[in-house]
């Protein structure tokens, strides 16, 4: 699976790496420095984020983009194993369609691993910029949550996400 980028806004250079966890070789791209951020998307949804946002994320975070296996039946469990394999804890997760539901499941079942969660589903911008806290009964750990629809203009979406992600600054441990 190759990470694709928009031809008009190339993604910042990323290095390819592998980690072994639970007898699986997991490939991922990494770029940037700072607090860890997991970007969940499929190869088919590589252009699901605003190009300006990707550059902003790499400038402020250590971005890990795992190559999700196309035949994976439990993406949340796979990502949990991936986080363990790369030694990350309390990470920011940004998920695009079709990974939003898996990211939500990961936050509900492994809230202790997630610092903040951003879901970027497809669709129009009618109901967007919704934020709140996901309070899990399983772990009792609150996870700040933001939903921003892909239909929102980049000029509005990027500052909204920046503000949400900066709010949690300093509360995470870097693995």
Q: Are strands 15-21 and 91-96 parallel, antiparallel or unpaired?
A: unpaired
At 87 the pLDDT is 94
Question: pLDDT tens for residues 92-143?
Answer: 999 988 899 999 999 988 888 999 999 998 876 565 566 677 777 666 788 8
**Domains of the chain in sequence order:** 15-167 (3.40.50.1820)
Q: What is the pLDDT of residue 5?
A: 37
Over range 4-26, report the average pLDDT. 68
Residue 7 has pLDDT above 90, yes or no: no
Digit-coded pLDDT (tens) for 46-62: 676 788 888 899 999 99
Residues 145-175: pLDDT tens digits?
Answer: 998 888 888 888 899 999 999 876 544 333 3
């Amino acid at each position: 699976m190759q990470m694709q980028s928009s031809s008009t806004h190339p993604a910042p250079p990323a290095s390819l790496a592998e980690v072994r966890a639970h007898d699986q070789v997991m490939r991922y791209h990494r770029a940037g420095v700072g607090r860890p951020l997991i970007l969940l998307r499929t190869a088919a949804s590589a252009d699901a984020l605003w190009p300006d946002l990707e550059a902003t994320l790499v400038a402020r975070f250590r971005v890990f983009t795992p190559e999700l296996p196309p035949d994976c039946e439990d993406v949340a469990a796979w990502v949990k194993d991936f986080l363990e394999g790369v030694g990350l804890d309390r990470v920011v997760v940004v998920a695009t369609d079709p990974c939003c539901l898996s990211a939500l499941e990961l936050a509900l079942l492994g809230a202790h691993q997630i610092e903040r969660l951003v879901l970027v589903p497809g669709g129009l911008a009618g109901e967007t910029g919704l934020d709140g806290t996901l309070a899990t009964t399983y772990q009792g750990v609150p996870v700040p949550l933001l939903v921003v629809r892909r239909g929102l203009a980049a000029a509005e979406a990027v500052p909204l996400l920046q503000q949400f992600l900066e709010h949690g600054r300093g509360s995470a441990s870097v693995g």
